[in-house]
Structure 1
Amino acid sequence: MSDTQLTVTLDGGGIDDARAIVRALEGVFGAPDGRPSDEGATVRTATFGSPGTPQAADAPARAADGTLSAPVTVTVQGTPQAVEAASETLSRAFTARNDGVASGDQERERQLLLVP
């Protein structure tokens, strides 16, 4: 595949938590289509697109202070390679629990619970 696209849906936590999660993924996928900005939203979405296959980071930095303010359910959806890279990156950057995976022919979806 020539393009990798990853959609990330964030449910829970505050705007700073959402921004920290997106920053953790930027090291692997580059800048998203936009950064979370709606303070009042309960669900936030970011889409990453980059050429080629994502490269897993060796040891991504933790969020600015190392924790989130509240639990955040993160759903990552895209190519199997993109979903695996995102899951590994988030699991290194935050305390994460894998809450399930669904696979299709060319796409995968995984849900993670990131906790403070």
Structure 2
Amino acid sequence: WSFTKKNEHGLLFEISPQDKEPWTSTSLLFDMEKNQYYIPSQREQFLRLPEMTIHYLILYNVGMIARYETEWWYELLTQHISDDYVLIQQFLLVTEKKFPKYASQFLLHF
């Protein structure tokens, strides 16, 4: 992507052809509700991985926590008092919308 111009709402960028599809983008994040791409605000957040891969890796880790940390997971799901619960719940809601769409786009592309 390359910088195009600045307006009252933000900065405008032109994206390269390989970043046109959200599931192939390695440096931009996509908001499905607003239909907009975003650049991570911190340099450390540039993982250079497609967003679909990031969702898969986080889902894998959440699954391992649920499987091997059952006592902590049970407390999390029954008491709802931890900030972790809110983060995990929000991530799962976003992934529930994004991942099937990205996976179907991936499969239709190849």
* TM-score bracket relative to the smaller structure: under 0.3
TM-score (structure 2 length as normaliser): 0.28
Higher RCO (C-alpha 8 Å, min separation 6):
1
Rg larger in structure: 2
**Higher relative strand content:** 1
**Higher relative helix content:** 2
